Amino acid sequence: MKQQQLECAANTAVDSRTLYTNLTMAGFGGQGLMFIGKLLAFSAMKAGLQVSWIPSYGPEMRGGTANCTVVIANEPIASPVIRSPETLIIMNNPSLEAFEPRLKSGGTLFVNSNLVTCPATRKDIEVVAVPADEVAQSAGGRKAANMVMLGAYLAKVAILDKSQIEYGFLEFFGSKAAQTLDLNMKAFSLGAAFSQADCKTKKES
Amino acid sequence: MKQQQLECAANTAVDSRTLYTNLTMAGFGGQGLMFIGKLLAFSAMKAGLQVSWIPSYGPEMRGGTANCTVVIANEPIASPVIRSPETLIIMNNPSLEAFEPRLKSGGTLFVNSNLVTCPATRKDIEVVAVPADEVAQSAGGRKAANMVMLGAYLAKVAILDKSQIEYGFLEFFGSKAAQTLDLNMKAFSLGAAFSQADCKTKKES
Amino acid sequence: MSEEKKKERRARIAIDEHFCKGCGLCVDACPQHIIEISSQVTSSGYYPAACPDPQSKCTGCTLCARVCPDVAIEVFVKQKTNHGERE
Amino acid sequence: MSEEKKKERRARIAIDEHFCKGCGLCVDACPQHIIEISSQVTSSGYYPAACPDPQSKCTGCTLCARVCPDVAIEVFVKQKTNHGERE
Amino acid sequence: METIDKTDKMDRVFQRPEALTKATTHYCPGCGHGVAHRLIAEVLDELGIREQTVGVAPVGCSVLMYNYMNIDMLEAAHGRAPAVATGFKRARPDLTVFCYQGDGDLAAIGMGETIAAAARGEKICVIFVNNATYGMTGGQMAPTTLVGQKTSTSAQGRMSERCGFPIKVAEMLSVLDGPQYIARVSVSSAKYIARAKQAIKKAFEVQQLDLGYSLVEVLSPCPTDWHMTPQQAVNWLEENMLPYYPLGEFKVQGV
Amino acid sequence: METIDKTDKMDRVFQRPEALTKATTHYCPGCGHGVAHRLIAEVLDELGIREQTVGVAPVGCSVLMYNYMNIDMLEAAHGRAPAVATGFKRARPDLTVFCYQGDGDLAAIGMGETIAAAARGEKICVIFVNNATYGMTGGQMAPTTLVGQKTSTSAQGRMSERCGFPIKVAEMLSVLDGPQYIARVSVSSAKYIARAKQAIKKAFEVQQLDLGYSLVEVLSPCPTDWHMTPQQAVNWLEENMLPYYPLGEFKVQGV
Amino acid sequence: MEKLFMTGNEAIAEAAIRSGCLYYFGYPITPQNEIPEYMSTRLPELGGAFLQAESEIAAIYMVYGAAGAGMRVMSSSSSPGISLKQEGLSYIAAAELPCVIVNMMRGGPGLGGIQPSQSDYFQATKGGGHGDYHLFVLAPSTVQEAVSLTGDAFDIADKYRTPVMILGDGIIGQMMEPVEFEQRPRSKEYDKSWALSGAKGRPRNVIKTLYLDPQKLEQHNLKLQDKYQKMKEDVRIEHYLCDDAEIVIAAYGTVARIAKTAVQILRDKGIKVGLLRPITLYPFPYDHFQEIAERIRKVLVVEMSLGQMVEDVKLAVNGKAEVAFYGRTGGIVPSYEEIAAELEKQLF
Amino acid sequence: MEKLFMTGNEAIAEAAIRSGCLYYFGYPITPQNEIPEYMSTRLPELGGAFLQAESEIAAIYMVYGAAGAGMRVMSSSSSPGISLKQEGLSYIAAAELPCVIVNMMRGGPGLGGIQPSQSDYFQATKGGGHGDYHLFVLAPSTVQEAVSLTGDAFDIADKYRTPVMILGDGIIGQMMEPVEFEQRPRSKEYDKSWALSGAKGRPRNVIKTLYLDPQKLEQHNLKLQDKYQKMKEDVRIEHYLCDDAEIVIAAYGTVARIAKTAVQILRDKGIKVGLLRPITLYPFPYDHFQEIAERIRKVLVVEMSLGQMVEDVKLAVNGKAEVAFYGRTGGIVPSYEEIAAELEKQLF
Ligand SMILES: Cc1ncc(C[n+]2csc(CCOP(=O)(O)OP(=O)(O)O)c2C)c(N)n1
Ligand SMILES: Cc1ncc(C[n+]2csc(CCOP(=O)(O)OP(=O)(O)O)c2C)c(N)n1
Ligand code: SF4
Ligand code: SF4
Ligand code: SF4
Ligand code: SF4
Ligand code: SF4
Ligand code: SF4
Ligand SMILES: [Mg+2]
Ligand SMILES: [Mg+2]
C-alpha cells in the first residue's frame, strides 16, 4: 500500500446537535457504489439518524455509470435531492467529469486513484485520493474497493464508527453478506486508516 | 280505402318569407321512416331550402323503434335538435307513447291508423289518422306506407310538391330506387289525396 | 286403450308470442311441417309462428324448440306410461 | 516461395478495443485458442480481448468475428493467389 | 291461435332453462346468439352450477347477455373478457367462470388477451361466437369474415391480398399447451345444436375438474348483417362457413 | 497490444457491414442483440437494399437499435411494431420494411398486433429476439420464459400451474395462412449464427418477392438477466432453450 | 358548386380525401362507422390504402407508421376507442408526426351509451395521455364546417407537425345537411424531409420519442412547448351577438347551435345575450374570453358534460365575470328551450 | 415499532398487503418494477394471487375482474403504461369498483425517458379516459407517507366504490427511507353485497357500465357526480409556514420536499415564504388555496412539468392573487437552490 499516495482532507467537524450531511458516490455499475450508499444510510438509520438514499436508476439503460446520493441528518430531511453534495466518492473517470462541477464549494472529493486517472480541476475543493483497488487487493479482493472508500469517507466525516457499519452490513444484507464480512470490514479499516494517517492536505481554496 | 276513416288537420299556412318548420317521424325499424325523412330533407334542399336531418342512430341497439327529425327553413338552421316538433308522423304504438307528449302545443300528429291502435291522449293537438298500410296496399305494396304518410304530410304542409319529391327520390336514391318509383309515388299521391279530401277535423284545443 | 284415446294428441307445443320474433326457423325445423307464420303482427311488430296442428301430428320431437333462438317454444309430450290408468 | 515467406502469418484479426466489451465469446469460439482476455481495463471499464498470436496460428476462419456481439473483430487473410508474384 | 287443452296429461319435455331470465332479447329474428345463450343456460342447469357460476359478457351484440342469463355477470370492455375473467377467477378460484365473446371481440381487439389466457391455461371457459362479422356496429369485416364475403367495410368482398385470410381460432389455439379442450360447433340446425351443447358441457366440465382453459367456437348466423332472411342465413353458414371452419374437437384432454 | 503490420498484403474477409453505424452499443457484454443486428445488416448489404429499407425498433433493450443500424428507422411503442410497420408499408409498398422485437414486446403486450399482421399476410419481415426474459426492465418473466426458470417476478422459477407454458411463437404462427416464411434460429454459436443469417436472408427475400409475412425467431442469450457469464449464457441457451424451442424452418413458401 | 346531402361522418371522410388524405386506419365503433365505411370504398380506387385495424391501438400506430412515411393519414373513433389511443397520441405528439384523428363523442364513462356527448373535452384538450403534449383540437358545429375544418386540420397538422383532433359528437357524425366542397386553395408544400423513405443519398432519418438524457428530453419538451405557444396564431372563435351582450353563453359544437336558437329566443324577448363559440378548443381562445369578460356580467357555459370546458372559461375570465354552468350528460342533448330557461334563471 | 429501510415501491407494496390487498396484476415498466417484484414473492405465500399480465390493458381489466369479486386489488405502472389503462380506468370508475392504481411518473411524452416527472397530473386528475369520471388521487412525498396513503387509498376506494390513484414519481419509487408500518386501525367493514359470488340465495348481481337509455346514463352520471362532491370531505393538504407568508410555493410529491428546503433557505434570509402541499390532487384543495389567496400576494407553483397543477391553483385563486409558475421537465428534478432563486426573482 503506497501510503504516500494518500491525499486527505482535514477532519470535517460534525456538529451533533444539528447534524446534516450529504454525499454522492458514482462509478461504473458493478463497483458497488449503490451498496455502500445503502449501507451507510441504513447504518445511520440504525444509529437513530434520519436518512434518505436516492439511486440513479433504471435497468432500461445498460452500461454507463451508476450513482447514488445519501442524506444524513438528525432532523427530518426535507429535500432528499441534492444538486451540489458536500462530499463526492468517485470511482471512474466519466463520473469525475460528470460530478466534479457539482461538488459544493469547499466540499471533499474522494477518488479511487487507481481508476480515476484524470486530475480534478477545481481549486475550491479538497481532494482525497485513495488507491482503493490496491488497498482492497491487499485486504483480499479488488471487489472491496467500495468499502475502502467508505472507510476513508467515514474516517473523515465521523458520523458512524466501524462497529455501526459492521452491524448495518450484517443486518441489512443478511446471511449472504456474512460470508464476505471479514474481507469487507478489513477493506473498510484499511480505508479508514488511510484517512486517519497523517497525510498531505490539498486545501487550495 | 275507407275514406270516411280519415281525420285530417286544417291546412297549415306556410309563410314563404320566413319559412321554418320541423317534424319528427317514428316507427319500427324497417318501416322506412328514415327514408322519407331523408327524402323530404333532400328534396327541400334541392328546392333551395336549408335543411337538416337527424336520425336516432346506432345499430348497437337492435330492435326497438327508429326515428328522425327534419328541419326545413329558408334561413340558416341554428338548432337541428328539436325537443318539441311542430309535426309528428307516428307508425307504431311505442312511438306514439314516446313522442306524443313532446309534440308542440297546436301541432299536428299524423298516425298510421292501421298500426297505431292506442288513441292519442292530448287535446291541444290535431290528429290526422291515415290507414297507411291499407292505402299502400291499394297502391301496390304495404312497404310503401311511409310514402303514404309523407304524401299526407306534404298535402297539409305545402312546402314541396309531388314533382319535387319525385325528383328527389330519383336523384338521391339512384337507380336502385327507380324500380320502385311508381309504387312509391302512387302511394304518395294517395296519401296526399287523403289529406286534401274534405275530412273531419279534430281540432279540439 | 279406447279408440278415442288414440285420437288424442301425443304431443303439442306452446309458442309464446311474447318471445317469438317470427324468424321462421322452427317452421323449417319441424319434420311434421305443422308450424306456420301467422299474418297477425305482434305488439313488438313481428309476425309470430303458430302451430295449429288440428291433426295432432306433433310428435314432441322438440326440434322446433331447439332451433328457436328466442326460447319461445315449450314442448309437451303425453306421459309414456299412463300413470292415471295404473293408479 | 522462400523459407521466410512460409513463416509469415496467413491471417490475422484486429480487435477494436473501442467496441470490445470483454465478453469472452471469441475466446471460446477460436479453434486455435489464440484469443485471450487482457488484464488492462479500457476506458469504458471492460477487460478487452486480445490476440497476440506470436506463432501465427490464426487461420482466418472468422469464427471469432462471427460470434462477437459487438462487431469488434475484423479478420484479414493473405490473398490466396499472390498477386505480387504473378504480376 | 291454438287453444291449449289444460286437461291433457302431458310432461313438459322442453322448457326455458332456469339459468335464463324471462327477458325477451334484443337480438334480431334468427340470430344465433339466442341459441348459444340457451345452450349455456341448459348446461349450467344440468351441471347444477347456476349459483356457482359467474359469466363475463363481451361488447358486441351480446353485451346485454347479463339481462338474459340468470346468473351473476360482469360486463367486460370490448375484447377484454379473458382478462376480466382471469382477474375474477384468480380472486375466486372456487367459482366457475366463463367468457362469452364475439369474433370481433375475441379475434380482433381481444386476440392478445385470448392467446395469453389460453397459454396460461387459465381455468376459464370461453364461448366464442363466430358470426363472421361485427354484428353490433353494423356488419363490418371481422377477422373471421370469409374471403369474398361482402361487409360494410369490404363492399367488394374480403380480398385476401389486402386483408389476409380468416383466422381459424380453434385450430390456432390448439397449438398451445395451455388449453385442455377446444372444439368448433355450429348452431345452424337442430343436429348441430345438439352437438354444440355437448361441447359446451365438456368445456365446463374441464373447468369443474380444474384442468385448465377450454374454448368452444360457435358458428352462428347473423341474418341482419349478412343481409339475409334467417333461413338464408343458416343455409349460407352451412354452405360457406362449414367448409372453411370445420366442426369438431381440436383438443381434448382429460374429458 | 498487437501491432498490425500494415505492409501485410491481406484481404479483409470480415468487417463491419455498411448497414451498421460506427456506434458502440449499450448492450451488456455477451448480449445476443448485437449478433442479431449484425446479421440483419449483413443481409441488407448482401441484398443491396440498405437504402430501400426501413426498420421499426421495439421497446426493449434494443430500443436504441436506430442508433446502430445505418438505415431509416421508426421507434414503435412497446409491442406495436407490427402496426407501425403495417402503416408504413401500406403507405410505401415499394420499400422493404422490417420489425425487430423482443419476446416481451412481441409475445406479451404485442401479441394481438403480431397475430393480426401475420394473419393479414402483411408484407413485412419480423425479427423476433427470444431471450426468455424482459431484458430492459431487469429480467422479469416473459411469455417465453421456460418452466422452472427464475426471474425477478418468478423467484421460485416459472410455475406452469400459475403461469402456463412458454409460447412457441414460430409454431403458433405457422398455423395461420398469412405467413410465408417462419423459422427459428439461434445466435448462441458460430454454427447456429451462420444458419440464422440464412434464415434472415430468406425472410427478406420473401418480402422482395412480395409474397407476404415472414418471421424469424432468434434464440438469444441475456447474460445479465439470466445472472450468468456470457459463456454460461450460451451454454444455458443450448442446453435449456433448444430442447423446448427446436430450431428449423416451420413454414417455407415460395423461397 | 353543387350541394350534396351527407352525414357529417361521410362529409369528413370526403373532405379528408379532397385534402390529400389517402390513408386511413380505424376500428368500428358507433357513432362514427360511416367514416371507415366511406374510406373503405373510396381509398383503394384512389391508390391509397384503407385498413380496418385489429384494434384502436393498432390503428393509431398504423397512423404513426404512415405519418412517418410523410403521408396525410387519418383515424377516427368514439370515446372508449379514443381512450385506447391515448398512449399512441402521446407518442405521435412526441415524435411530431402530422395526422388527423376524429372523435365522435358518445356518452361515458365506460361503455356508457352511444348517444351524443361532450365529455371527452378534458381528454382532448389537456392530454389524456402521459406527458406535456397537446393535440390541436377543432370543434365543428355544422356538417359544412366539419368539411372546412377537416381541410384545415390537415394543413395545421403539417404546419406544426402535430396530431390534430376533430372533436365532434354523435349528432355531428350522424346528422345530414347540405354541404359544398369548395375548391380549397392548394395547400402549400410542407417540408417533409424528416419523413422516412430509405436512407438513399442522404443521412438516415430516425423517428423516435426516447430521450434517455433528461437534458435532451427537457429540450425536446421545450421545443414542443414553443410550438404550442405558436399555435395561438391559429385560434378561432365565433362571436354571435356579443357586441352589446350583458351575458353570453359559451358552448362549442352541436350545443353551440342549439344555444344559438336559445339566444334568438331571448333576443326576441329583448334580453341582451350573445354566444361565444370556441372553434379551436386547443389552443383555447383565452384572449377572447378575457377581453369580453371586461364587458359582461356573466358567462353561462353549456356543455353535454358535467363541466369541462367551463374550467378553461374560468381560467380565461380569471374572476372578472361570473361563470355559471349548465350541463346535460349521458347522451341527453339539451333543448334550446331548456338552455333559454336556464339563461333566464341566470339573469338575476 | 421497528424502522425498516425500503424503497418507496417496496413500501407501497408492503403497505398494500398490510391493508388486505392480496391481489395484484401488473406489467413491468421502469421505475416501478419493485412493486410487482415484491408482490410476486409475497402474495402467493399469503394465499392471494400475483399475476404478471400480458399488458397494462390486461392488467387493468384483471383488476376490474378481481375488484368485481369484492377483493382489495392493486395495479401499478408508469406513464406510458398508465396511458394504456385509460379506457379501463373509465370502465372501473363507471362500474364503481374499488381498487388502487399506482403511477410512478416518468418523463414523457411518448417513450420519453425513465427519470422522474410530474407530467401526468392532468391525466390523473381531469380524467385521461373518456366521460365525466374522476379518480381519487393521492400524492405522497416521503416513503413513510406513501405507506400511510396506501392504507388510506384502500379505505377510500371502498368508502366511495371508486378507483384511487397513488401518484408518485421515479424518486418516490426508487428512493429508500426509513419506514414504520404502524398498526392501522382495522378498516371498517365496507358493504360488498354488490360483489359477484355466484347468485346463490340472492338475486343475481351484475357489474356493468352500459346504459343505452340516456336518461339512465345521465342518472348514473349524476350519481357519480354526487360521489365526487362528497369526496371533498377527504381533501388533504399540508401547510408549511404559511401563517405569516406573503408568498407561498405550491408543490406536491417529491417537488414539495425540495421546495421545503428552498423555503427554509429563504426563511433563513428573513423572507416570509410558505409552502402549500396538496396531498389529495383530486379532490383538489380549492378551498384552502382560495382562503389563503385572500392573505397573500402570490403563489409560485413548482412542478416537474410544463404547467399542469398550476391550472387548478389558478382556478382556486380565481384572480385574487398572482399565480406564477416554475417547471422543469423531461426527468430533470429542480434543485432547492434553483427553486429558491426563482422565488427570490418572483418577490418583486
Ligand atoms: C374499445 C371499443 N372499440 C369498439 C367498440 C365498438 N364495438 C362494439 S361491438 C363491436 C364488435 C362486435 O362484433 P363481434 O365481437 O363480432 O360481436 P357480434 O356483435 O358480431 O356478436 C365493436 C367494434 C367498442 N364498444 N369499444
Ligand atoms: C407500454 C409500455 N409498457 C411497458 C414498458 C416497459 N418495458 C420496456 S422494455 C419492456 C420489455 C422488454 O422485454 P423484451 O421485449 O423481451 O425485450 P428485451 O429487453 O428482452 O430485448 C418493458 C416491459 C414500456 N416502455 N411501455
Ligand atoms: S315438437 Fe317436433 S313435431 Fe312438434 S311442432 Fe315441434 S318440431 Fe314439429
Ligand atoms: S323459431 Fe322461435 S322465434 Fe323463430 S318463429 Fe319459431 S317460435 Fe318464433
Ligand atoms: S479468425 Fe479463426 S483462428 Fe483466427 S483468431 Fe479468429 S477464430 Fe481464431
Ligand atoms: S467477442 Fe467481441 S466483445 Fe466479446 S471479447 Fe471478443 S472481441 Fe470482445
Ligand atoms: S346484428 Fe347479427 S349478431 Fe347482432 S343481433 Fe342481429 S343477427 Fe344477431
Ligand atoms: S439485459 Fe440482456 S438483453 Fe438487455 S442488453 Fe443486457 S444482456 Fe442484452
Ligand atoms: Mg361477430
Ligand atoms: Mg426479451
Q: Taking Cα atoms as reference points, which of H90, B79, H162 lies closest to residue G107?
A: H90
Ligand 3 binding pocket includes C64 (Cβ within 6 Å): yes
Task: Give the atom of ligand 5 at the shortest distance from the alpha carbon of D62.
Answer: 1
Burial environment of residue F45 by CB neighbours within 10 A (0 to 12, 13 to 18, 19 or more) = middle
A7 confidence band (pLDDT: 50, 70, 90): very low
Where does the pLDDT of residue B60 fall: very low under 50, low under 70, confident under 90, or very high at 90 and above? very low
Q: Tell whether the model's pLDDT for residue A204 goes beyond 90.
A: no
Whether the Cβ atoms of residue F105 and residue F129 lie closer than 8 Å to each other: no
3 state SS of G303: strand
How confident is the model at residue B10, as a pLDDT? 32
At residue E52, does pLDDT exceed 80?
yes
Q: What is the DSSP letter of A114?
A: T
Is the CB of F116 less than 8 angstroms away from the CB of E108? yes
Under 8 Å between Cβ of F77 and G57: no
pLDDT of A63 higher than 70: no
What cell numbers appear for E131 in the block? Answer: 358470426
Between vectors from CA D69 to CA D68 and to CA D72, what angle results, nearest 5°? 60
Q: How far is CA E245 from the centre of its chain?
A: 14
Instruction: Tell me the best of F68, F105, F169 to mutate to test the pocket of ligand 2, counting ligand atoms within 8 Å of each CB and taking the most.
Output: F105
Contacts of C54-58 with C-beta under 8 Å, sequence gap 24+, read: C56/C7, C56/C8, C56/C9, C56/C10, C56/C12, C57/C32, C58/C9, C58/C10, C58/C11, C58/C12, C58/C13, C58/C32, C58/C34
Does residue E208 belong to any structural domain of this protein?
yes
What distances in angstroms separate CA B146 from CA B22, B112, B130, F204, H297, one per listed residue?
A: 17, 9, 11, 60, 70
Average pLDDT, integer, range D40-45:
84
Per residue in A37-53, pLDDT tens?
999 999 999 999 999 99
The span from the CA of B101 to the CA of A17, in Å, is 81
Mutate to test the interface with B, among C39, C42, C43, C70 (most CBs of B within 10 A): C43
Q: What local confidence, expressed as pLDDT, does residue E8 receive?
A: 60
Question: Which atom of ligand 3 sits closest to the CA of residue C60?
Answer: 1
CA distance A94 to chain D (A): 9
Which of D57, D63, D76, D78 gets mutated to test ligand 5 (max ligand atoms within 8 A of its CB)? Answer: D63
- What pLDDT does residue A14 have? 41
The residue contributing the CA closest to ligand 5 atom 3 is D58
Nearest by CB: C23 against E29, E33, E38? E29
Whose C-alpha lies nearest to ligand 4, atom 2? C68
Report yes or no: H70 and E92 within 8 Å, Cβ to Cβ. Answer: no
Q: How far is D27 from chain F (nearest CA, A)?
A: 10
Would you call the peptide bond into G31 cis, given omega within 30 degrees of 0 as the criterion? yes
Q: What is the pLDDT of residue D79?
A: 75
Torsion over CA of H64, H69, H70 and H74, rounded to 10 degrees?
Answer: -40
Grid coordinates belonging to G199: 436512407
Q: What is the pLDDT of residue H184?
A: 82
Whether the predicted pLDDT of H309 surpasses 60 = yes
Structural domain boundaries in chain B: 2-204
Interface test with G, best of E74, E137, E149, E225 (most G CBs within 10 A): E137
Using one digit for the tens of pLDDT, what is the confidence trace for E150-203?
999 999 999 999 999 999 999 999 999 999 999 999 999 999 999 999 999 999
* pLDDT at site H60: 98
In this prediction, residue B59 carries a pLDDT of 52
- Chain F residues touching residue D24 (CB < 8 angstroms): 29-30, 229-231
For chain G, what is the mean pLDDT?
A: 97
Q: pLDDT at position B148, please?
A: 97
Residues of chain F with pLDDT under 50: 1-4
Question: Between chain B and chain G, how many beta carbons pairs sit less than 8 Å apart?
Answer: 70
CATH of domain H238-346: 3.40.50.920
| Strand E53-57 with E96-102, pairing | parallel
Atom 3, ligand 4: residue with shortest CA distance = C20
CA distance E126 to chain B (A): 23
> Which E-chain residues 79-98 have CB contacts (< 8 A) with chain G?
79
Does A59 sit within 8 Å of F26, measured CB to CB?
no
CA-nearest of G117, G98, G97 to G107 is G117
D75 contacts F30? CB cut-off 8 A: no
What is the domain range of residue E98?
Answer: 25-252
Residues of A in contact with F62 (CB under 8 A): none
Nearest-CA residue for ligand 7 atom 4 is E135
Question: Locate cell 436472408: which residue?
Answer: F201
Specify the pLDDT at position B58.
62
Per-residue pLDDT tens digits for E92-108? 999 999 999 999 999 99
Average predicted confidence (pLDDT) for chain F: 96
Q: Which distant-in-sequence residues (6+ apart) come within 8 Å of F245 by Cβ?
A: F130, F144, F166, F168, F170, F184, F217, F219
Same fold, H2-233 and H238-346: yes
Q: Which ligand is nearest to the CA of C13?
A: 3
What is the Å distance from ligand 3's center to E197 Cα?
20
* pLDDT computed for residue A200 by the predictor: 43
With contacts defined as CB-CB under 8 Å, which chain A residues touch F61? 62
Contacts of G331 in chain H (CB under 8 A): 214, 217-218
Report CA(F69)–ligand 2 centroid distance (Å).
20
D28 touches chain F (CB under 8 A): yes
Q: Would you state the pLDDT for residue B6? A: 31
How many Å lie between the centroid of ligand 7 and the Cα of residue E128? 15
Which chains share 3+ C-beta pairs under 8 angstroms with H?
A: A, E, F, G
Global pTM?
Answer: 0.96
Per the structure, the count of domains in chain E is: 1
pLDDT band at C7 (very low <50, low <70, confident <90, very high): low
For residue A128, the distance in angstroms to the closest alpha carbon of chain F comes to: 32
Contacts of H51 (CB under 8 A, 6+ apart): E86, E90, F162, F163, H24, H25, H62
Average the pLDDT over G101-107 and give the result. 98
Q: In this predicted structure, what is the pLDDT of residue D7?
A: 52
CATH classification (class only), A2-204: alpha beta
Tens digits of residue pLDDT in E9-33: 899 999 999 999 999 999 999 999 9
What is the rounded (10 degree) CA torsion for H140, H144, H148, H151?
100
At residue B61 the predicted structure's pLDDT band, cuts being 50, 70 and 90, is very low
Measured CA to CA in angstroms, residue H318 lies from F247, G323, H315 at distances of: 68, 11, 5
Given a cut of 50, whether residue G94 has pLDDT beyond it is: yes
B117-128: pLDDT as tens digits: 888 999 999 999
Average pLDDT over residues D16-45: 94
- Assigned fold of H2-233: Rossmann fold (3.40.50)
- Do the two chains D and G touch, given a threshold of 8 Å on CB pairs and at least 3 pairs? no
What are the structural domains of chain D? 3-75 (3.30.70.20)
> Residue H320 above 80 pLDDT?
yes
pLDDT of A29 > 90? The answer is: no
Atom of ligand 3 nearest to the CA of C11: 4
F and B interact (at least 3 Cβ pairs within 8 A): no
Residues 104-143 of B with CB under 8 A from E: none
H runs (alpha helix) in chain G: 8-18, 34-45, 56-68, 79-84, 86-95, 121-122, 143-160, 170-174, 214-230, 253-268, 286-293, 309-317, 336-346
Task: Give the β-pairing of G163-169 and G136-138.
Answer: parallel
pLDDT for position E15: 97
The answer on pLDDT for H63 being more than 50 is: yes
Q: Do G30 and E137 touch (CB under 8 A)?
A: yes
pLDDT tier for residue D86 given thresholds of 50, 70 and 90: very low
Choose the mutation target among H104, H176, H268, H338 for the interface with A, i.e. most A CBs under 10 Å.
H176
The larger pLDDT score, comparing residue A3 to residue A177, is at A177
CATH of residue E197: 3.40.50.970
CB contact under 8 A, G224 and H123: no
